[in-house]
A and B are shown apart, each in its own frame.
Chain A
Amino acid sequence: MASNEKEGAPVNTRREFLVKISAAGALTITPGLFLYKVAEAKSDNELASANKRWGMLIDTARCADGCNACVEGCNKEHGLTGHGREATDAQWMRKVTVTDKSIGKTISLPIMCQHCENPPCADVCPTGASFKRKDNIVLVDKHICIGCRYCMMACPYKARSFIHEELSNQKSYSPRGKGTVESCTFCVHRVDQDKQPACVEACNESGHKAIVFGDMKDPNSELSVALKTSSSRQIRADLGLNPGVRYKNF
């Protein structure tokens, strides 16, 4: 750039000089901007952006029957402990086994909050506690949740749990308490630090690598590429909720 300036016509006026200088400045800034875009780190004071949509692709062919690594990873991350009462214990993620009886084929897959674009839980919430963040993560604001459980009835994926008993020793990044409804947060505390959700990490560690997490709106993200190059489906696509969790080979 500097050599270009020397080779160009001699600077005649103050105005020309300023124009050239600013052009050179713009060019030198560009590589910096490019670097920033590649890193894509969300700083602490940056807010969730509508330019992102977090999503997941779960490959049921890789998801092993009998493996519970993702569920265990989730439980450990958020400190979900039960009282040995399956019907009422908190459950953010569960493994489901589906069998096609005519062929005798069995498929195992995890189900959790599907982070819908049109979440029915948020539709029915009378206080606004169930809401969708700008980057399409569906959350419960437990500060204003009154525990009415309408959202639990509205969710077609049975993804939500109600906390019946007092809790202690919660994780500092995952506040949970009696009298409120909760569900998968896509590990929003990790996502805000550019990390993968706990279930994805656990699945990778188990060696199955069945879950791809990423930004659906970024055409170059691993998730977008995977969605584009393979056929995937939504559970209950007929409801028109446009979930952020998609399934492959299902």
Chain B
Amino acid sequence: MPTTKTYLSKIKTALSLLVLNIAFLSTNVYANENSLIIPEATKGKTCVEPIPEMRKNHMEYLLHKRDLTMHEGQRTKKHSLKECISCHVKKDKVGEYISINKEGQFCQSCHSYAAVSIDCFGCHATKPDAKLGILNSQNVKNKGITSLITRLQKTAKSTDE
């Protein structure tokens, strides 16, 4: 027959194990939170909508805009996936764009943290078009050839770096 003392010691070890476990779990969660590093946007700190709103509902904005563009032909940049990418995409050391769905990049970092797969990039480009993008952009069309030349020079410089 076990004595009260042995019962007590058993409860003690169980409790200490539990405490250790909790401590271990909490540090685990803490470590995960620390590992979520979302790269900053390249074009300033304000998004098209308040950031908490974008975190929660960006897919709704994208869905709405997608239908407007696809079916009605609206081509504004606000809330378009293309513009999300052009603002959040990063360049590597050679100056080439890194795909937005690569590990650690803007879309992927958060989506892998939340364990939600992204369906966009089976079809959509994961980075802006390197040269055609410049020629096609609305800005160039409006501002004419001088703006085109300056922009081409800029990209030439950035690729040189």
Contacts and interface: CB of A to CB of B under 8 A. Distances in A.
Contacts, number: 65
Interface string B64-92: 00101011111111000010010000000
A176 interface: yes
Interface of A is mostly: loop
A173 B129 contact: yes
Contacts of B66: 143
Interface residues of B, number: 24
Nearest to A139: B70
B125 A170 contact: yes
A172 B128 contact: yes
Interface string A182-193: 000000110011
B141 interface: yes
Interface string B33-71: 000000000000000000000000000000000101011
Contact of A193 (B125, B133, B136): B136
A176 B70 contact: no
Interface of A: 44-48, 131, 133-135, 139, 141-143, 166-167, 169-173, 175-178, 180, 188-189, 192-193
28 contacts: A44-B74, A45-B76, A47-B68, A47-B73, A47-B74, A48-B72, A133-B71, A133-B72, A134-B72, A135-B73, A142-B123, A143-B70, A166-B122, A169-B125, A170-B125, A171-B125, A172-B82, A172-B85, A172-B124, A172-B127, A172-B133, A175-B123, A175-B125, A176-B123, A177-B122, A180-B123, A192-B75, A193-B141
